Structure formats: structure tokens, C-alpha cells
Amino acid sequence: MSRGADTRARILLAAEQLMREAGLARTTTKEIARAAGCSEPALYRHFASKEDLVVAVLQERLPAFGPLISQYTTDPGGRSLHDCLVEIAVEATLFYESSFAINVSLFSDPALLRRHREAMSALGTGPHLPLRDLAGLLRAEQARGRMSSGADPDSAAAALLGACFQRAFLHHFHGAAVADADTHREQVREFAIGVVATVVTGIADTHHNH
């Protein structure tokens, strides 16, 4: 790894740790640079702004379910729709769990939230993109004939990612203890399998008319 790449990696690691501990709103680039063992000007040689750094942390340091959606949209690789959605739900839940502490402090300061929203928009990113992209994947599945033509991709995507976000919220709210990363992933997978089965098959009793 080159010296520049090493510095960038240290900055990302320090930023992730500080944002998890103090929240995004209270973490400054000066504190991140100090924790990374570099100067603030050196930090800005790698990242144009604090928001640029935040995007890099979310994309490079946390579970990446956005690229997984793109991959399965283009080529499911022989996986069933159910299996694709389970993998996406697992990574989405882990991502929301990992990013929750980073982002939640933004909502205590409306002005800061507005500035952050504007910066994310300028960078062409934001939390709405996975929802949009998952709906796009479901439309691709409809075109492949693997999903009902009468189903609403936008609603299905919202139901699935909404459930993942809710689980992440409750995980933090209740302070659930985790034995180890592998055990936690398996617990998340069990959740994902159940939610995806419900989204894919629905809950109505098709044998009765009401």
C-alpha cells in the first residue's frame, strides 16, 4: 500500500470510529485528522469535504448492499428472486445497524440536517438511492418473468428495506448484546429469510374470498 493510500485508509478508519462514538454532528475533521495521525490539510488532500468523507465511510467501511443490488439487477447469477432478496436484506440490515449511530445525531439539529442533505444531493448520493435501485431490481425481475406483473415494485422495495431499518433501530434501542459477528449475521439472516418470504408470497389467504 502506498503512503497516500495508507493515510487515506487511516483517515477512513478514524472517521468511522469517531462517528460511531460521537455521532456525525459532533465529529469534526480536526478530530478525525488527529485520530488518524495526520494534519487537517492532509485530510483535505484526500477528501474534498466532511460530507465527501462521510460518503466514503458509508461506501467503503460499512456493509455494501448498494453494489449488491446493482449486481443482482444486471445478473442474478442463477439465484432465485428469494435468494437475491435475502442476501440484499442481510446486507441492508447490517448497513443500517452500522450507520445508525453515525447518522442519528443529525436529526437533533435541523440546520445541520438541511446542510447535510444539500451536500449529499450535490454529491449525487443519499439514503433514497437503495430504495430506488431495489425497486429497479424488482422491475427487472418482472421483465424476466420471475415476479408477478401485478405486483408494485416500489411498495415491495419499501416494505423490505423498511423492515430492515426497523430491525436496525430496535437493535440499537434495546442495546441487544451480540455474541460474535458470525452469530449476529446468522440471526440477521433468519430475520431476512422470514421477511423476504412474507414480501414474496404475501399474507392473504388466497383460498378464501372476503
- The predicted-structure confidence for 172-196, as pLDDT tens digits, reads as follows 888 767 668 899 999 999 999 999 9
pLDDT score of 209 more than 80: no
55 plus 71 within the same structural domain: no
12 plus 108 within the same structural domain: no
**% of the chain at pLDDT higher than 90:** 62
Q: Which residues of 72-98 are buried (b: 16+ CB within 10 A; e: fewer)?
A: bbeebeeeebeebbbbbbbbbbbbbbb
Residue 71 belongs to a domain with what CATH number? Answer: 1.10.357.10
CA dihedral (137, 139, 145, 146) positive or negative: positive
pLDDT band at 1 (very low <50, low <70, confident <90, very high): low
42 plus 90 within the same structural domain: no
Q: Note down the domain range covering 31.
A: 1-61
Crossing angle for the helix pair 128-143 and 81-103, nearest 10 degrees?
Answer: 170
Tell me the average pLDDT across 24-31.
Answer: 90
67 plus 169 within the same structural domain: yes
**CA distance linking residue 189 with residue 172, whole number of Å:** 18
Q: Determine the pLDDT at residue 104.
A: 85
Question: pTM for the complete prediction?
Answer: 0.86
Counting the structural domains of the chain, the total is 2
21 plus 57 within the same structural domain: yes
Q: In which residue are the cell numbers 421483465 written? A: 143
Residue 14 belongs to a domain with what CATH number? Answer: 1.10.10.60
12 plus 53 within the same structural domain: yes
Q: Determine the pLDDT at residue 167.
A: 96
22 plus 120 within the same structural domain: no
Q: Determine the pLDDT at residue 207.
A: 61
57 plus 78 within the same structural domain: no
Q: In which residue are the cell numbers 442474478 written? A: 76
40 plus 78 within the same structural domain: no
- Domain stops at, among 61, 77, 101: 61
149 plus 108 within the same structural domain: yes
55 plus 70 within the same structural domain: no
75 plus 172 within the same structural domain: yes
